[in-house]
């Protein structure tokens, strides 16, 4: 696996993150509006046709952020009249809310969170979100990381200890709580620092937490960096634990983290996987979505250069693995390619 590349392309604007992993979206909306007005004043009627799209990603220590930057670059370069930006957010749960409200319009989301938002369950109980699926991204693997000399060798040993289950509003935190509940681990039985990926890695280095939680594609930069300075362990799930977890959420699957992805973790690690999905606001124009997904799939080679997990971003996988119904614009593209769309994915 290769590490995500740092990208510094003029066509992609990255926003600073506020404390706690979230951003003040109202200020961003105002800033973008001001920018749009200035562009119209400077360039006349041509600029008025420009569509500005925000893509909700996650923290800078995961794959969502560079992946979203690549998507923004593709759309800005290859979809006429579109300017896209990748925005640092609290990740999946927050991205569903932002896309539904139209504050970012598009978001990168774990499949289990997308289902909860679409159906109005769990964190969204009684509040169905205004979202549909645009594309399937890649599968995430749950990675519970400790230092190798830690007494924690099984996730059920975290009771009474300080850990991080992921930042508030993230898909990692959402999945961690589902997994812990499925295994009978009370959420108040451990002290939860709720840190971002980068913060979790630093806290493991400093000894302020004993386990960090990542639900990301294999080869994420924050774990790779940690493994270069410290010996790490990734906790495996037993067959019985896996059975309980899969029974708790049908969007999950049993997978293995391949050996050799991280320094010192040489053997395969049994864990849990879930697909990531690119969602959008349900009311987004179908022709625009069609042009966006067409550019995304036809220029996917750029994403693969950013991270190899983008090889999973294919139109075939959209029809096969989307956890919620697809947007009509995506369906139009898939049908043009001769890909059958299951009835359950037609809104």
| Residue bearing the bigger pLDDT, 170 or 15 | 170
pLDDT band at 65 (very low <50, low <70, confident <90, very high): very high
CA angle 127, 140, 20 (to 5 degrees): 60
Phi, psi of 264 (to 5 degrees): 85, -10
At residue 236, the pLDDT reads: 99
The two structure tokens encoding residue 160? 């009474």
The two structure tokens encoding residue 183? 């295994």
**Cβ-proximal residues to 42 (8 Å cutoff; 6+ apart), any chain:** none
**Tens digits of per-residue pLDDT, 73-112?**
999 999 999 999 999 999 999 999 999 999 999 999 999 9
At residue 323, the pLDDT reads: 97
**Tens digits of per-residue pLDDT, 281-327?**
999 999 999 999 999 999 999 999 998 889 999 999 999 999 999 99
pLDDT band at 49 (very low <50, low <70, confident <90, very high): confident
User: Which DSSP string corresponds to 151-179?
Assistant: S--SGGG-TTSEEE---TT-HHHHHHHHH
List, in sequence order, every beta strand (DSSP E) within 9-68. 51-56
Owner of token pair 């989307």: 322
Which residue from 141, 142, 138, 78 is spatially nearest to 311, judged by alpha carbons?
A: 138
The secondary structure element, H or E, covering residue 108 is strand 105-110
Say if residues 71 and 80 touch (Cβ distance below 8 Å). no
d(Cα 66, Cα 5) in Å, to the nearest integer? 7
Q: Residue 21: how many CA atoms within 13 Å on its side-chain side?
A: 29
The two structure tokens encoding residue 318? 């959209």
At residue 47, the pLDDT reads: 46
CA quadruple 185, 161, 172, 214: dihedral sign: negative
**Ordered domains of the chain (ranges, CATH):** 25-137+278-345 (3.40.190.10), 141-274 (3.40.190.10)
**Tens digits of per-residue pLDDT, 204-248?**
999 999 999 999 999 999 999 999 999 999 999 999 999 999 999
**Tens digits of per-residue pLDDT, 6-41?**
333 333 333 233 334 444 443 444 344 334 434 433
The share of the chain scoring above pLDDT 90, in percent, equals 83
Helix 239-248 vs helix 171-182: crossing angle, to nearest 10: 120
């Amino acid at each position: 696996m290769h590490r995500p590349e740092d990208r510094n392309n003029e066509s992609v604007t990255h926003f600073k993150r506020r404390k706690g992993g979230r951003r003040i979206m109202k200020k961003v909306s105002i800033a973008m509006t001001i920018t749009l007005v200035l562009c119209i004043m400077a360039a006349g009627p041509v600029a008025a046709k420009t569509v500005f799209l925000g893509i909700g990603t996650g923290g800078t220590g995961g794959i969502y952020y560079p992946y979203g930057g690549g998507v923004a670059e593709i759309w800005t370069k290859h979809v006429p009249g579109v300017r896209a930006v990748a925005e640092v957010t609290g990740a999946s749960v927050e991205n569903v809310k932002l896309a539904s409200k139209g504050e970012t319009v598009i978001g990168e989301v774990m499949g289990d969170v997308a289902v909860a938002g679409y159906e109005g369950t769990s964190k969204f109980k009684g509040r169905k979100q205004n979202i549909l699926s645009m594309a399937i991204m890649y599968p995430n693997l749950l990675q519970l990381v400790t230092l190798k000399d830690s007494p924690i060798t099984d996730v059920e040993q975290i009771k009474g200890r300080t850990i991080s289950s992921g930042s508030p509003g993230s898909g990692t935190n959402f999945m961690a709580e589902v997994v812990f509940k499925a295994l009978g681990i009370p959420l108040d039985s451990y002290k939860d620092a709720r840190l971002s990926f980068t913060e979790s890695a630093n806290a493991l280095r400093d000894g302020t937490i004993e386990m960090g939680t990542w639900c990301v594609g294999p080869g994420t930069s924050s774990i790779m960096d940690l493994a270069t300075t410290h010996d790490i362990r990734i906790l495996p799930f037993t067959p019985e634990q896996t059975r309980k977890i899969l029974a708790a959420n049908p969007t999950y699957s049993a997978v293995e983290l391949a050996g050799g992805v991280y320094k010192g973790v040489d053997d395969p690690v049994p864990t849990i996987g879930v697909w990531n999905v690119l969602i959008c606001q349900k009311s987004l124009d179908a022709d625009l979505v069609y042009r966006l997904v067409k550019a995304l799939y036809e220029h996917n080679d750029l994403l693969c250069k950013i991270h190899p997990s983008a090889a999973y971003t294919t139109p075939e996988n959209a029809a096969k693995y989307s956890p919620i119904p697809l947007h009509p614009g995506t369906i139009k593209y898939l049908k043009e390619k001769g890909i059958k769309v299951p009835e359950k994915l037609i809104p």
